[in-house]
Amino acid sequence: MAQATTESVAAPPATRPRAASTALLALALGGFSIGTTEFATMGLLPDIARSLSVTIPQAGHVITAYAVGVVVGAPLLTTLAAKVDRRTLALWLMVAFTGANVLGALAPTAGWLVAARFVAGLPHGAFFGVGAVLGAHVAGPGRRGRAVAIMMAGLTIANVVGVPGTTVLGQALGWRAAFVVVGALGLLTLAALWRWIPGLAVAPDATVRTELAALRNRRLWIAAGAGGIGFGGMFAVYSYVSPLLTEVTGMAEATVPIVLALFGIGMTIGTLLGGRLADGSVMRTLYIGFGSTVGVLAVIALTGDHVVLAIASLVGLGITSQVLGLALQSRLMDLSPAAPSLGAALCHSALNVGNASGAWAGGLVIAAGYGYLAPAWVGAALTAAGLLVVLTAGRGPAPAAALPAG
């Protein structure tokens, strides 16, 4: 596995262990903030639908809009900011994220909320892209997977603490309160980034053209496409997890945050496991992630009406989906060694293509009257299709690093 982690950046002196730890903590806090706003919407979907007088599938457009924002913003902002210091870019992305979430809290109609969620999604992938490069830089050679996993663990821990917490708050005070909390988290992240993240200047010859050159690699697009298709499986189920648990499994609405927290624990386990596995073999981890996710989605479709089995399979989905996500991000960074922030950002574009397509496909079968278990079958088919793409067209060695790590 290629270990390229720079993108035409100037390499300052090695970061001390304590400084590296605080820098990774700041990035993890950013992941926590982003994960809270991305996934809290799923838990509050019925509340949003009631408040804005729309159906649950129509409220699902809010999820799709955020995902589309990520898909558009990740490569666009990363490329346009090719000459910007990585720390400065991370700060500005968090400013945009914070402001958009506050605007979402003030949205008077469903249409306005959809627009606000689109804007909130724009900095998402670019932040994780530049954060992956910053994290790998401060962690040092040979620890890229674990450094990225620490940052991504912030996103998954959000599903243990942030998402259930904002879901409870939203159920008690209204869904708008959840977005206000996310805005406050954004401000806290800004302070941490300002205090703890070191500057990481790009090389003088870095340009938009050099970033775009990475996009000529056919395998990069195949891997991103496989992720975009395959990750739709997880989101086809998770986008409608609240009505699934209340309408099919028969659980009380007040217990939904508990299940969301358990799902988040699964995601955290999967993230840390995926980081270690990816440091050993990216492609093997990719196959494991795809295959195990297909299996878990099938189990959900078959056992979603049994409380214990439904909860256990949702935790399993959290684990397998994050193993897949870490492997995909590592693969895309390997396939763009001269522009790893763009590769890492494309990972989040791919994942949110899955977010948008999964929420859309799940909403279609629900609206057609097939019930809340049907999205799990749709999801299994989507993830299996992503695995098929990798097996038939996505294999092969990554290109050699264009620049030395540093």
Total domains in the fold of the chain: 1
- Report the pLDDT value the prediction gives residue 402, as an integer from 0 to 100: 42
- Report the pLDDT value the prediction gives residue 207, as an integer from 0 to 100: 66
Give domain status of residue 329, yes or no: yes
Residue of 177, 168, 314, 370 whose CA lies nearest to 252: 168
Is residue 40 within 8 A of residue 170, CB to CB? The reply is yes
Give domain status of residue 100, yes or no: yes
Give domain status of residue 131, yes or no: yes
Give domain status of residue 5, yes or no: no
Q: Give the tokens for residue 41.
A: 């919407």
392, amino acid identity: T
Residue 118's domain is classified under what CATH number? 1.20.1250.20
Residue of 115, 97, 123, 130 whose CA lies nearest to 5: 130
Tally of residues, the chain: 406
Give domain status of residue 169, yes or no: yes
| Distance separating alpha carbons of residues 201 and 214, to the nearest angstrom | 19
- Report the pLDDT value the prediction gives residue 53, as an integer from 0 to 100: 87
- What is the pLDDT tens value at each position of the chain, 406 positions in all? 333 333 444 444 444 667 778 888 999 999 999 989 987 887 788 889 999 988 887 888 898 889 889 888 988 898 888 888 888 999 999 999 999 999 999 999 999 999 999 999 999 988 988 888 888 778 766 666 677 778 878 887 887 888 888 888 988 999 999 999 999 999 999 999 999 988 776 666 666 776 777 677 788 888 889 999 998 999 999 888 988 999 999 998 888 888 888 998 898 899 889 888 887 888 999 999 999 999 999 999 999 999 999 999 999 999 999 999 888 888 887 887 777 677 777 887 888 788 778 988 998 999 899 999 999 999 999 999 999 998 887 565 555 444 333 3
72, amino acid identity: V
- Report the pLDDT value the prediction gives residue 396, as an integer from 0 to 100: 59
Opening angle at CA 212, ends 349 and 85, nearest 5: 80
**Three-state DSSP class for 399?**
coil
pTM listed for this prediction: 0.72
Is residue 51 within 8 A of residue 144, CB to CB? The reply is no
Give domain status of residue 115, yes or no: yes
Q: Which domain holds residue 241?
A: 17-391
Residue of 29, 267, 36 whose CA lies nearest to 151: 29
CB count within 10 Å of CB 50 equals: 12
Give domain status of residue 8, yes or no: no
Rg from Cα positions in the chain? 20
Residue of 404, 145, 151, 148 whose CA lies nearest to 282: 145
Cα separation of the two ends of the chain? 17
Give domain status of residue 398, yes or no: no
**Three-state DSSP class for 53?**
coil
Residue of 158, 182, 179, 30 whose CA lies nearest to 92: 30
